[in-house]
Amino acid sequence: MENRLTMYNSLTKKEELFVPNEDGKVGMYTCGPTVYHYAHIGNLRSYIMEDLLEKTLRYLHYDVKRVMNITDVGHLSSDADTGEDKMLKGARREHKTVMEIAQFYTDAFFEDCRKLNIKRPDVVEPATNCIDEFIHMITVLLEKGYAYEMGGNIYFDTSKLQNYYVFSGQSDMELLVGVRDDVEEDANKKNKSDFVLWFTKSKFEDQELKWESPWGLGYPGWHIECSCISMKHLGEFMDIHCGGVDNIFPHHTNEIAQSESYLGHKWCNYWFHVHHLNDKTGKMSKSKGDFLTVSLLESKGYNPLAYRLFCLQSHYRKPLEFSYENLDNVTSAYNKLIKRIGDLSEEGEIEQEKFDAYRKQFEDALCSDLNSSMALTVLYEMLKADMNDRTKRELAKSFDEVLSLDLLTAQTAGEVQHSEIDAELESYVLAKIEERAAAKKAKDFATADAIRSELLERGIVLEDTREGVKWKKA
């Protein structure tokens, strides 16, 4: 089949024509969530844009197989091989076992995906399912001389590679490693950039999940899981590997090091990285305490699909800043769009030539490094064009296979949602007013002021009157 999609490849740092290993077929791998907490809307930006890539490939008639891991073991609180285990941290916080935490947050993740119309990958594999595969790969790496045992752990020896820093210049990366290692140094490592493949009881004694291995009772490092899980389901040659930009180093760099050393040949051709969602204070992260989730947006009356539209309006390779003001604007644009499409009649014959021309324009936008904002412009242009309603409806339906904004089905829900939004807004504001009153009573004026500012950011003004606190939309 004809390959038309060009995409930016982080490995070559160029926009390239996408050509899969096998004609018409795509093997795609996504680094899944670390399930020790809810996903924040930054994580979900990455998954929305990866979903867009998958659906674009399907729209272009590729036969796609997509695999995702679930990180339920081995991801430490720093990206280096030091620090506390993230899963264990979650379990302690909630007085649950690691497996209970993993199950709860895996379900919560897929529930968020469902609300955002993110398709579930064809294969979803938790890391704890694949311990034998990890042990096998580590054994081969030891046999081939790419790994060594030190202080009870197995490390990958990065000095065995001609070019370990595949994504970037060595000097940039060493700087980065330097910064990390200034904080916590692992004396067992032969080289600064070496990383752990397997931990044994000699380290992190309190780790809850441990397995027998040729090197003692222990557990795998984080990076090994993605190499093994992707090979298990997609074989030795992969087309596209996805993740957020923070995964480039060390995670994806280490995945390539160990996979290609194990295989003895090139492993994955295209690397797709989504830039971060930031808030005013910088990158959104799970460890920052209060973070933004889909449920929080819903509790404030937002439709999760408005957030999806917010993401689609920007290119995946640009950082994106979140604010409620922006989301309010997108919500109003979304409601108008749904109404506009809902008003289209179903009468008449499809004007095939026009249909084909707009579909081509839409595909061309996506084929240009997944230009989703351009694809949305094609949708708006199409709705204004000289064409009958039926053709417009069918085009909107077709585009929605990729955009997944419920462009046709949200039609009536749009009306209902409006009153729902008002009701939810009201209960949210009332809860905040109560919270503020409690803070004032406790003489915690900083919190009381913070609540007032938070409401103001959402366009809600509070007035302290003799009859009590009143509120209105600014």
- Say how far apart CA 75 and CA 221 lie, in whole Å: 7
Which residues 6+ apart lie within 8 Å of 37 measured at CB?
Answer: 90, 105, 286
- Say how far apart CA 74 and CA 457 lie, in whole Å: 39
376 touches Zn ion by CB under 5 A: no
- Say how far apart CA 126 and CA 35 lie, in whole Å: 10
43 touches ligand AMP by CB under 6 A: yes
Q: Name which of 189 and 276 has its Cβ closer to ligand AMP.
A: 276
Shortest Cβ 469–Zn ion spacing (Å)? 48
Shortest Cβ 120–ligand AMP spacing (Å)? 16
Query: Which residues, in sequence order, are bridge partners of residue 471?
Result: 462
- Say how far apart CA 409 and CA 349 lie, in whole Å: 21
247 touches ligand AMP by CB under 6 A: yes
- Residue 32 in tokens: 């899944």
Single-letter amino acid code for the residue at 234: L
- Is residue 161 within 8 A of residue 262, CB to CB? The reply is no
Task: Kindly write down the DSSP assignment for every residue of 200-214, as one continuous string.
Answer: ETTS-TT-S--B--T
Q: Which does 404 bind (CB under 5 to 8 A by kind): Zn ion, ligand AMP, none?
A: none
Q: Name which of 286 and 432 has its Cβ closer to ligand AMP.
A: 286
Distance (Å) of CA 282 to CA 42, 165, 302, 355, 415: 11, 26, 23, 43, 35
Q: Name which of 42 and 221 has its Cβ closer to ligand AMP.
A: 42
Q: Name which of 243 and 342 has its Cβ closer to Zn ion.
A: 243
279 touches ligand AMP by CB under 6 A: no
Shortest Cβ 429–ligand AMP spacing (Å)? 28
Contact pattern for Zn ion over residues 198 through 227, marking x by CB under 5 A? ----------------------------x-
31 touches Zn ion by CB under 5 A: yes
* Count of residues of this chain found to bind Zn ion when the rule CB under 5 A is applied: 2
- Is residue 460 within 8 A of residue 474, CB to CB? The reply is yes
Shortest Cβ 30–ligand AMP spacing (Å)? 8
- Is residue 57 within 8 A of residue 26, CB to CB? The reply is yes
Give the CA-trace dihedral at 355, 356, 359, 361, to 10 degrees.
-110
Contact pattern for ligand AMP over residues 67 through 106, marking x by CB under 6 A? ----x-----------------------------------
243 touches ligand AMP by CB under 6 A: yes
Residues that bind ligand AMP (CB under 6 A): 31, 33-34, 42-43, 45-46, 71, 243-244, 246-247, 274, 276-277, 283-285
Residues that bind Zn ion (CB under 5 A): 31, 226
